[in-house]
Chain A
């Protein structure tokens, strides 16, 4: 059974249609990569699934774990077990890491160390003055603290140094496999995929999914021929 089922999703931000009839199905424990050039709608898709209020769903349906979540507020979706690791997590001044993490787990020290951050980190303010690597590691900390069923990873590998990426990649892959977590992963560079090893992939262009299938085949094609080839392929299909 699919854990996430998206049917014909049409989404508006302001007056612009940014997702135009997207359908996608994700099995339990499946890792699915979303590719596409800048502005193709990858982040919009992630944002619509987690339920960011400025993304207005005007048509279609999202089902999670058999439940229609299309109209559910963002925090209800989170409570059901959807977690989004944001591309640019905002700074929250004055809110200490320890006070934030303690909302979700009593085991903040372990969770932190497991994510490659030392306990000095507990005294810092959420995302304030974090380096790129620290920001992403802190998103991972929250994954381990919240134990979600579905992970939405938006550019978790961007702005991260090689060492940190290696650490995050290994820990995340281990965690995902062990707990059979479903993952929808958006990535530009694709580095994180070396660790998460998706089975499936989709390509987005202009707010639509134009191609879905075997991850290795699709990734190889994109690397060799670029998104221009996908554009042409889309036209051929039409």
Chain B
């Protein structure tokens, strides 16, 4: 399918390379333009068609996200949707990142997305999702994503968002981790957004592992509320919610983390580091640890503040002006190495971060 140049260019900013022959999904508003897999045992299909093809899939919808959670889930439940269905069959290990892109193209549209991701027993998936918007387009993006990780499976999910000052974004994500499975989610937000709220909720069974990381750059008047919730239900499970935040301009960022431990010998940790660059910006961190098992351990660590004078002066004493020195410190702070991303994505994501930094 022929894709317009403008779209090609825009999706590249969120890591989606349409020229590359690799498993891919591209959805424009509600229209799936590309759904392609060249790997046996890996299915990529839009959820509307997937539901027709597999009647059993219906039982997977709204299983991990409560349809009555808030006005956006209620809207999503009551209205027409589309999204991607990605499934790795039993023991199929897909190392190459699957590129999935949700593109908001029509002005004033509410894009209602519902994604279902299934990693069957012993399978592995690497998914890069880029969500973006056409220039000067306003609208809402509601995105329900439900991840099902069967026994011994692994999913590494990286999501890059590049919205604009006119868009409001409400992802609602749920993940269920069966025994011995590993779920890693990396969330990257580098462009301004009017309003963005997301807090993936993970249920972890015995011996499973959940890692939720976010890298957030607040710009202009952005209001960003990002969290992560992990319920360590099974014994010997572990959870990590970690965020790095830089707040510029008049942005306000809320970083939430919640870990509930029920199983024994489990471990959970929340960590948040924030940097306030402007006097008009704000960072709130809200960590929550709930322990229901005395044989398990929960910890949290947070620091929020401005750039230290000593660091700034040190760099300035090497001939960099205040702006250059500040950018260097911010760049270090937002170093993508803190994320748990596959090596093949590392270079690409670093490049995206570099490019955004230069513009900001």
Contacts and interface: CB of A to CB of B under 8 A. Distances in A.
Interface stretch (A50-58, A204-212, A216-224): A50-58
Contacts of B319: 75, 78-79, 104, 146
A84 interface: yes
Given A54-B309, A90-B308, A78 B333 contact: no
6 contacts: A75-B319, A83-B317, A90-B314, A94-B331, A94-B335, A95-B331
Contacts of B316: 73-75, 78
A100 B314 CA distance: 12
A100 B328 contact: yes
7 nearest interchain CB pairs?
A94-B332, A94-B335, A95-B332, A78-B319, A90-B310, A75-B316, A74-B316
Nearest to A100: B328
A78 B322 CA distance: 13
Given A54-B309, A90-B308, A90-B310, A78 B317 contact: yes
A83 B309 CA distance: 18
Interface string B308-342: 11110111111111100100110111110110000
Given A95-B328, A125-B332, A90 B317 contact: no
Contact of A50 (B310, B315, B317, B337): B317
Given A84-B317, A95-B331, A103-B318, 13 more contacts: A50-B317, A75-B320, A79-B319, A86-B314, A86-B317, A91-B311, A92-B329, A93-B332, A94-B335, A95-B335, A100-B328, A104-B318, A146-B318
Contacts of B308: 90
A104 B316 CA distance: 13
Chain B CB count within 10 A is highest, among A74, A86, A95, for: A74
A94 B334 contact: yes
Interface of B: 308-311, 313-322, 325, 328-329, 331-335, 337-338
B318 A94 contact: no
B335 A92 contact: no
B333 to A, nearest CB: 5
A37 interface: no
Contacts of A125: 332
A47 B310 CA distance: 12
A100 B317 CA distance: 13
Contact of A92 (B309, B314, B338): B314
Given A90-B308, A146-B318, A146-B319, A52 B313 contact: yes
Given A54-B309, A100-B328, A94 B333 contact: yes
A185 B158 CA distance: 51
A129 interface: no
B307 to A, nearest CB: 10
Q: Chain A contact residues (Cβ within 8 angstroms of B): what range?
A: 20 to 34
Interface string A16-52: 0000000000000000000000000000000000111
Chain B CB count within 10 A is highest, among A83, A94, A146, for: A94
A146 B318 CA distance: 8
Contacts of A50: 317
Contacts of B314: 86, 89-90, 92
A115 interface: no
Nearest to B328: A95
Contacts of B338: 94
A187 interface: no
A95 B329 contact: yes
A142 interface: yes
Contacts of B337: 94
Contacts of B331: 94-95, 99
A103 B329 contact: no
Nearest to B307: A92
A103 B332 CA distance: 14
Interface in A88-123: 89-96, 99-100, 103-104
Nearest to B313: A52
